[in-house]
Amino acid sequence: MVSTISRQVENLQGIGEAFGLAWQLVLTGDAALVEIVALSLQVSLTATALACLIGLPLGAIVATLRFRGREAVLILMNALMGLPPVVIGLLVYLYLSRSGPLGFLGLLYTPAAMILAQTILITPIVAALSRQVIEDLHVEYDEQFRSLCLSRGQTMRALIWDARYSLLTVGLAGFGRAVAEVGAVMIVGGNIDHLTRVMTTAIALETSKGDLPLALALGIILLVLALGVNAAVQSVRLTATRQAYV
């Protein structure tokens, strides 16, 4: 009992220690930290951009077109949002492995492999969520578009442009999933120091070394980073809407 209580006190001290450590790492501009933060952002932001490039048009197509099997596509898209990162990591590994079909590219254990895995992970999220957003808007505008005799392409472009602020949130949902996942990047990146180590794999590594305060400190920094990206997007949105209504 006594040891349980003292352990609990120790754990609480660990949390305080973690905040101190996080602060210290940021203030000193720790070179290793800067490196993994930069790679985390590079990988997850690129994956988000690629996922939007593929997912938004896909969402718009499914939202506006009526075709046979559409219901099945909807269900599939929504289900794929729940793909476990570790399964995607494994699939990408099997393809990119030297003994796999794309092994000749030599992409395994590079940031490109991590971007690929995260893109596959979040494209369904971007596609499924943007489909919903665009479809709601489409219902609203349908008659107007018809009266203007817009082509399908024009309709989709107009819808995506009009829904752009809601779609920013969709992008953020994708980014959040990408930057937070560890299962896929661990397998296809390998958590190699100075090459493929990102925030989440570094946190897993420090946890397994038993350095819980450092692991938690990295977690706090990751959270602040996500807050920063979200705040930046929010401010873009606010500025843009304000200008639109002036």
Binding segment toward other proteins, per CB under 8 A, in 19-27, 113-121, 162-170, 226-234: 113-121
Q: Nearer Cβ to other proteins, position 98 or 152?
A: 98
Residue whose C-alpha is closest to residue 59's, from 46, 73, 39, 79 = 73
H/E stretch holding 156 reads helix 152-162
# chain residues binding other proteins, by CB under 8 A: 37
Binding segment toward other proteins, per CB under 8 A, in 64-72, 83-91, 110-118, 136-144: 110-118
Binding segment toward other proteins, per CB under 8 A, in 3-11, 62-70, 133-141, 176-184: 3-11
Exactly one of 116, 156, 159, 199 binds other proteins (CB under 8 A); that residue is: 116
The token duo for 138 is: 């489409």
Q: Which of residues 164-223 bind other proteins (CB under 8 A)?
A: 190-195, 205, 207-212
Q: Minimum CB separation from other proteins for residue 94, in Å? A: 9
CA 222 – CA 174 distance, rounded (Å): 16
Binding segment toward other proteins, per CB under 8 A, in 104-112, 148-156, 228-236, 237-245: 104-112
CA 224 – CA 26 distance, rounded (Å): 11
Exactly one of 20, 84, 101, 106 binds other proteins (CB under 8 A); that residue is: 106
Q: Nearer Cβ to other proteins, position 41 or 237?
A: 41
Three-point CA angle 217, 175, 196, nearest 5°: 60
Q: Nearer Cβ to other proteins, position 64 or 118?
A: 118
When asked if residue 108 is in the footprint of other proteins (CB under 8 A), the reply is yes
Q: Nearer Cβ to other proteins, position 54 or 220?
A: 54
CA 135 – CA 130 distance, rounded (Å): 8
Residue whose C-alpha is closest to residue 214's, from 62, 23, 68 = 23
CB neighbour burial string for 86-97, b if at least 16 within 10 angstroms, e if fewer: eebbbbbbebbe
The token duo for 90 is: 């494994």
Residue whose C-alpha is closest to residue 87's, from 187, 202, 189 = 187
CA 174 – CA 176 distance, rounded (Å): 5
When asked if residue 16 is in the footprint of other proteins (CB under 8 A), the reply is no
Binding segment toward other proteins, per CB under 8 A, in 21-29, 48-56, 59-67, 149-157: 48-56
Burial class (CB in 10 A: 0-12, 13-18, 19+), 83: middle
When asked if residue 110 is in the footprint of other proteins (CB under 8 A), the reply is yes
Count CA within 13 A, CB hemisphere, residue 197.
14
Q: Minimum CB separation from other proteins for residue 220, in Å? A: 18
Residue ranges that bind other proteins, judged by CB under 8 A: 3, 7, 10, 46, 50, 53-54, 57, 97-100, 103, 105-112, 115-116, 119, 190-195, 205, 207-212
